[in-house]
Every structure is written in C-alpha cells, then in structure tokens.
Amino acid sequence: MMRTFYHLFSSILAICGPSISFGQTIDQLSSTHDAVLGYHQGYSSANSNYNYADWFGAMSQPGNLGGENNSRSLIAFDLSAYIPGTVINQATLDLYGRGAVGAGTVASVGNVGNNTCWLERVTSPWNDNTVTWNTSPTATSVNAVVLTSSSASSQDYLGVDVTQLVQDMINDPDGSFGFLIRLQIEDPSRGLFFCGRGFTDASKRPRLTIKYGTDISVSERPSLVMLDARPNPCSRGALVDFMDLQEDLTFEMVDGLGRVVIQEGLLHGGTSFMVPITIPEGVYHIRARSRADGRSLYSASLVVLGDQ
C-alpha cells in the first residue's frame, strides 16, 4: 500500500511538477447556537435564560416599571475544521433585517434611534440553555466591527466584513466562542434587530462565508525560485531542509484545501522545519515570502507519506 501511494504521488509530481496550484475555497456556515441576553428593570429577568430566539440583535427601551430594559445577543459558528494559523482571505457575515420583535417602545417598531452596534469576539464559554445577562461571557473590543446605524425599520446588513475577527477566532480557538452584538450606547430608545437562528425562513438566518486558500502556482509566478526541499517525499514527523536560502523568510505549508498547516519565520542560514505528525498524507504547497516586504520568492511541492 505504501509503495503504491509513493508511486502515485511521484507520478503526480512528475506530471504536474511546479504547476501544481491550490485554489481558493469558499465555505458557507450556518450558526450552531445563539442566545438573547436581557434584563428588565424592576424584574428578576437578568437571571432568566432566553436561549435562542427568532431574532438576533440589541436594544434599549424604557421599562414598564421605570428605568430601562436592555438586550444583547450571542451567536456562534463551528470553526473547528480550520487549523490554527490558516490564513483567511475574507470572512463576511450576512444579517437579514427582522423588524419588530415584540412589545415595547422599541421592539414593537423594529430598528429605531441611533442604533449603531458593536460586533465583538466572545472570549469565554457560554451555554445557550443556561446563559443569562448576569452570567454573560466576556468579550473583547480588539478588532471589533461597527454595524452602522440603520436607515429603515427592517434592514439587511449583508457582506459585513468580519475577516480579522474570524482570523482571531481561528488562531485562538481556546479563547473564542462566537460573536456578541451590543449597542454602542445602551440608553433608551434604540434597537437593531436581525433574523435569528430560530427564524422561520431558513434563508434569512445568519450566515458566515469564509474564503481561504491560495491560487499561487509556479506556472503563474515564473519569477519564483523553486525550493530544494529534502527529503521529498518525506514522512510525517520528518525534518525537512531547504537549501541555499538567501534572506529572512516566512514560509507556509498549505494543504490541498488551501489551509495553512505551518506558518513560521526562517532566518537565512536556518533552513529546516518539522513536518507535523498529525497531517494527512498528500501533496502540499510550500510558499516562502520575504519578511522584509512580504513578496513571494520561493515555491515548492512536498509529498508527505504516512508513518514508515
């Protein structure tokens, strides 16, 4: 079996040589869980769990007993398929306008007031069946995205650029647990409402689109110098050497789906890296960039075999 595999990929390299390319991959993800967080002044609802709802958004409106009622929302997508370090080319979030969501001076009319919101990365775990306003998870404002004030009572926000937020989530899976939406100014009367995971029309539910991978091939970049990677083919866990590197580089090892398996810097004179023992057998693309200006300078194809 190993001999057959070896000859198969040797044939691929012989036929394709430096023209092997790795195209961009586009994934569309639906949310896996969400929750509305809220409190109503004068009531004990700050300890109430509302689980998922047919709306996702934030509001602040006068309370029936005086004071105010505030709401925020959480939403999460399963990003476990992306290896930490995978370079995301673009990530966009589609949010469809919901309009009115219930009773009250804000909820009953839909989007209202100066309702600019923050979209932030959640940094601690939460359970949609138990989370409340008082047990809200932590979130960070680093790379937060602004959802600008609406101009209609029901308004779609499509293609919201969340690339850096998603990149942060992929790079730090142990400290990333979805998105939090909250008003920039939590003071009556204002609100911004979208369709949630429980909305009856599935096509209107939140959707995350992720584009990743590389379309670089040596045939498309004739100025790239072919790296001499040895040994090639190699086994998982092997130490692979690059020969004659002339400057400080950042190199990436990319699988057939365009996911970055390794990304690290090499100083000229430092020429080796360890192939992860956890990656599948296959043909991988090696791309090396100048650490000075980011230009792609070197390229290689590397065949990784199973344990010998």
| Full-model pTM | 0.69
Mean pLDDT, range 234-254, rounded to an integer: 81
- pLDDT grade for 269, boundaries at 50, 70 and 90: low
Mean pLDDT, range 264-274, rounded to an integer: 73
Phi, psi of 163 (to 5 degrees): -55, -50
Mean pLDDT of the chain: 84
Q: Are 272 and 242 in contact (CB under 8 A)?
A: yes
Instruction: Compute the Cα dihedral for 16, 18, 19, 25 and give only its sign.
Output: positive
- pLDDT grade for 113, boundaries at 50, 70 and 90: very high
Q: How is residue 151 written in tokens? A: 């101009």
Q: Give the least confident one: 70-84, 137-151, 272-286.
A: 272-286
Mean pLDDT, range 5-10, rounded to an integer: 39
Domains of the chain (ranges; CATH) run: 2-22+215-305 (2.60.40.1930), 26-212 (no CATH)
Q: In this prediction, what percent of the chain has a pLDDT beyond 90? A: 50
Q: Which residues pair with 160 in a beta bridge?
A: 93
Residue 215 above 50 pLDDT? Answer: no
Instruction: Compute the Cα dihedral for 128, 130, 133, 134 and give only its sign.
Output: negative
Q: Closest Cα to residue 117, out of 183, 54, 179, 170?
A: 183
Under DSSP, the state recorded for 276 is P
Please, which residues have CB within 8 angstroms of residue 44's CB and are 6 or more apart in sequence? none
Radius of gyration of the chain (CA): 24
